[in-house]
Structure 1
Amino acid sequence: MSEQTPVSVVVVDDHAMFRRGVIAELGTAGVGAVDVLAEAADVDEAVAAVATYRPDVVLLDVHLPGGGGAEVMRRATAAGSAPGTRYLALSVSDAAEDVIGTIRGGARGYVTKTITGPELVAAIGRVAEGDAVFSPRLAGFVLDAFSGSIEVAAVDEDLDRLTEREREVMRLIARGYAYKEVAKELFISIKTVETHMSSVLRKLQLSSRHELTRWASDRRLL
């Protein structure tokens, strides 16, 4: 990354408050290093933004309305409108199948939303230069997947029953979050969390949070 030329970025996330927070953080921590050109809230908006602005890096959420981050990469690549653009996933999820699926979809890196502003700026710069960027835990998932230690196909089959939002709720509940904490994390109401949780248990044929935690742990989703 050149000190004279900032890395151009498009921020893609379906949560408006989170997008604004990321953009504000990049504006503070990435002065002179990062230039945010646009933002997008779903797959269609993201694909259009990539074609219009041809950014160096797309900061991409994994779960999006319209097909998710992998669909953004698939469609943008098929269109051929920004061949030099690289993708860095920024997600609340650190589950193995999300990390692996996103990397298989074409991302150069994957970081979680606990990352600090300066760390994110550094990750964007490294991805722009062609490096792969992961936390040690997430890098381990990728190595395990390609060595055959994780049966990704089996995990995907189970999770296909759930919507993207249900997956997010499922992981947080399985990790022991209270409904109020899940609602705050995902910017949704407690009632919506309860509705998603009921749907998750029904689809997975489970009867309690305890069973859900065990189910997720067995599949290395925590």
Structure 2
Amino acid sequence: MSIDAAPHSQSAPIRVLLAEDQVLVRDSFKVLIDTTPGLATVGEAGTGAEAVHLARRHRPDVVLMDVRMPDMDGIEATRRICADPAIPGTRVLMLTTFDQDDYVYASLRAGASGFLLKHATATELLAAIRVVAAGEALLAPTVTRRLIADVVRRSHPAPATRDLGHITQREREVLTLVGTGLSNSEIAEHLHLTVGTVKTHIGRLLAKLQARDRAQLVIAAYDGGLVNPSSR
């Protein structure tokens, strides 16, 4: 897994809400998180509706959200949490089994800051929580490439529904590569730029496109028609 982000640096523990309907899985996550320095669970939800309620009540830094849950699925729960002005600092990290799950793209569109495969290791899970808590987006490049390719395959040609006329040509090039799942270092190598310059371009794109994080830049690249079958 490739992650372009610095670790969470604040002294207070990262507060995590668990949203998972399988009790054994949820309990294992809780033990892992509560025994890791700098992390702490603040609540457990077994349904999407409960996740929304507890997110508003506890205002966690990160919600670890399963896609498939009873009562309300994780995508709708994510949409409500991310749209709630009372909890602007809460980020959602989706859990999915990509090979059987058609909802990853929808979860990013709903406002999730990234997604993690359920077969990820404990180390990857803890790193993912820290990355999302730091305000970055968790997008494993290899999975992102598969995600975008799948979306494009099902809906090509990609409809250009977002106006990108106000970004520069270089920003357009960077956004295209972000949309195809490249990391900052890979983009820098591809465009013969420094990693610092790439980060500057991404910062400007976030501001111009009013995107919260890298995950939303992927959405913008697709909506702007920059990602197509040849981008795989």
Same structural fold, with TM-score higher than 0.5 when normalized by the shorter chain: yes
The correspondence of residues 80-99 of structure 1 with structure 2, limited to 5 A, is 80-95=85-100, 97-99=102-104
1:63 correspondence with 2:53: no
Tell me the residue number matched to 1:9. 16
1:150 correspondence with 2:145: no
Is the deviation greater in 58-67 or in 76-85?
76-85
User: Deviation digits for residues 174-206 of structure 1, max 9, x if unmatched?
Assistant: xxxxxxxxxxxxxxxxxxxxxxxxxxxxxxxxx
Letter in 2 for 1:64: M
For residue 52 of structure 2, the aligned residue among 47, 54, 61 is 47
For residue 107 of structure 1, the aligned residue among 112, 124, 127 is 112
Seen in structure 2, the aligned counterparts of structure 1 residues 104 and 120 have a Cα distance that, compared at 3 Å, is: same
Using the alignment, how far apart are the partners of 2:140 and 2:17 within structure 1? 22
Instruction: Identify which of structures 1 and 2 has the higher relative contact order when contacts are C-alpha pairs closer than 8 Å and 6+ apart.
Output: 2
Q: Identify unmatched segments of 5+ residues in structure 2.
A: 1-7, 157-232
Using the alignment, how far apart are the partners of 2:101 and 2:121 within structure 1? 22
The correspondence of residues 159-174 of structure 1 with structure 2, limited to 5 A, is none
Name the TM-score, length of structure 2 as normaliser: 0.58
Using the alignment, how far apart are the partners of 2:38 and 2:125 within structure 1? 11
1:96 deviates by 6.0
Using the alignment, how far apart are the partners of 1:114 and 1:95 within structure 2? 13
Seen in structure 2, the aligned counterparts of structure 1 residues 125 and 71 have a Cα distance that, compared at 3 Å, is: same
1:140 deviates by 1.0
Using the alignment, how far apart are the partners of 1:93 and 1:74 within structure 2? 20
1:135 correspondence with 2:114: no
Maintained 8 Å contact 2:52/2:80: yes
Seen in structure 2, the aligned counterparts of structure 1 residues 96 and 21 have a Cα distance that, compared at 3 Å, is: closer
Using the alignment, how far apart are the partners of 2:109 and 2:99 within structure 1? 15
Tell me the residue number matched to 2:194. none
Using the alignment, how far apart are the partners of 1:89 and 1:63 within structure 2? 10
Count matched residues: 149
SS at 1:133 equivalent = coil
Using the alignment, how far apart are the partners of 2:64 and 2:99 within structure 1? 16
For residue 32 of structure 2, the aligned residue among 7, 25, 47 is 25
Maintained 8 Å contact 1:96/1:141: no
Letter in 1 for 2:154: I
Maintained 8 Å contact 1:27/1:34: yes
Maintained 8 Å contact 1:47/1:72: yes
Maintained 8 Å contact 1:110/1:138: no
Q: Identify unmatched segments of 5+ residues in structure 1.
A: 153-222
Tell me the residue number matched to 1:35. 40
1:5 deviates by 1.9
Letter in 1 for 2:131: R
User: Deviation digits for residues 68-91 of structure 1, max 9, x if unmatched?
Assistant: 111112222444331110100112
Structure with greater helix percent: 1
Aligned Cα RMSD in Å? 2.1
1:38 deviates by 0.5
1:107 deviates by 0.8
